[in-house]
Amino acid sequence: MVNYKELGLVNTKEMFAKALKGGYAVPAFNFNNLEQLQAIVTAAATEKSPVILQVSKGARNYANGTILRYLGMAAVEYAKELGWEKPQIVLHLDHGDSFELCKDCIDNGFSSVMIDGSHLPYEENVALTKKVCDYAHKFDVTVEGELGVLAGVEDEVSADHHTYTNPEEVVDFATRTGCDSLAISIGTSHGAYKFTPEQCTRDPKTGKLVPPPLAFDVLEGVMKKFEKQGGFPIVLHGSSSVPEEYVEMCNTYGGKLPNAIGIPESELTKASKSAVCKINIDSDSRLAFTGAVRKHFAEHPDHFDPRQYCGDARKEMIKMYTHKIVNVLGSKGKAE
Ligand code: G3H
Ligand code: 13P
Ligand code: ZN
């Protein structure tokens, strides 16, 4: 049993309370490898931004859960080495799909877990989320629950149509489960293809695809329900903006990502100023990494040292993470 506090990690409690009050969102970046972790910590430490390091089930399958856990633990020490005296870093399980997986993470140094029961019937979601909360809270680990289903593939859970969160359910869910934050569905989805071209309109000037707006009315409805209790931390999954720059970088150097489209940054900034305290970004890191590696290989066909092309990828990711912190989510300087 390793408690996260021994590792210098923090849970999301105070972090979200400050974000809720301060009108910004904490970035939650997924990582699967060393370079992503280094880039996230470098950006957060340089900008003194609170940060959530997320490990998905897929990441555990790819990189091994134990290795990722130790990388997460190393983040605090690395942040200090970079001059961040009091790092505010959360190690979080993304889309936990069982009590057992959440327990394993809680017992092994994670400071926060998500239990994703969004695909279950309501009462089953309540029961599973409560079971995880009851266990996690014994160790001061915070828990994210989810209500509403995101479009497309939600890990192994597929939904043919997205079901927005029903504001009528949120207070009952949060009260009965005891969860510390709630992921909701307002039109975001995972991956680099968030909308089909048919769902978009075309900007007559640029000819570019413009996605439909997020359902801010649903978010407002949710916030209204939590008003009496002084607000509640809301989480947005599927919040990559799929930067054109990286899609183009991929496509210019041999990639094929037609019609990749994400959430406009202006919408994410608007959400950050509301009760949305945590914004999940994974695909943008994948795009920055892949774009940089493709470019590197095209420009240096003789290179074969992974440090050369992964070094470029790391630089590009630092740029991307820094941009999110400084220009999109407003979390710069919130963890001095
Ligand atoms: O929620 C989805 C995240 O982007 C994690 O994706 O399951 O492929 O690691 P993954
Ligand atoms: P993106 O695919 O939009 O980056 O979403 C990531 C996410 O929600 C992780 O849980
Ligand atoms: Zn997600």
Catalytic residues: 94
Instruction: Give the Å distance between the CA of 195 and the centre of ligand 2.
Output: 14
Domain boundaries, the chain: 4-329
Verify whether ligand 2 is closer than 6 Å to residue 283 (CB atom).
yes
Atom of ligand 1 nearest to the CA of 154: 1
Q: Which fold has domain 4-329?
A: TIM Barrel (3.20.20)
The predicted pLDDT at position 9 comes to: 97
Q: How far apart are CA 139 and CA 247, in angstroms?
A: 42
CA of 140 from ligand 3 middle (Å) equals 23
DSSP string, 120-164: S-HHHHHHHHHHHHHHHHHTT-EEEEEESB-BEEETTEEESS-B-
pLDDT at 18 over 60: yes
The beta-strand segments (E) located in the chain are 26-30, 51-56, 89-96, 112-115, 142-147, 152-154, 157-159, 181-184, 201-202, 209-210, 234-236, 276-281
Residue 305 has pLDDT above 80, yes or no: yes
Query: Does this model's pTM top 0.85?
Result: yes
* N-terminal to C-terminal alpha carbon distance within the chain: 30
In this predicted structure, what is the pLDDT of residue 261? 96
d(CA 131, CA 125): 10
The pair of three-digit structure tokens given for residue 93, joined into one six-digit string: 């399980």
- On whether the CB atoms of residues 237 and 279 are closer than 8 A, the answer is no
Per-residue pLDDT reduced to its tens digit, 152-199:
644 343 444 568 999 999 999 999 999 999 999 999 999 999 999 999
pLDDT at 159: 44
Cβ(92) – ligand 1 distance below 6 Å? no
* Least trusted range by pLDDT, from 4-18, 23-37, 160-174, 211-225: 160-174
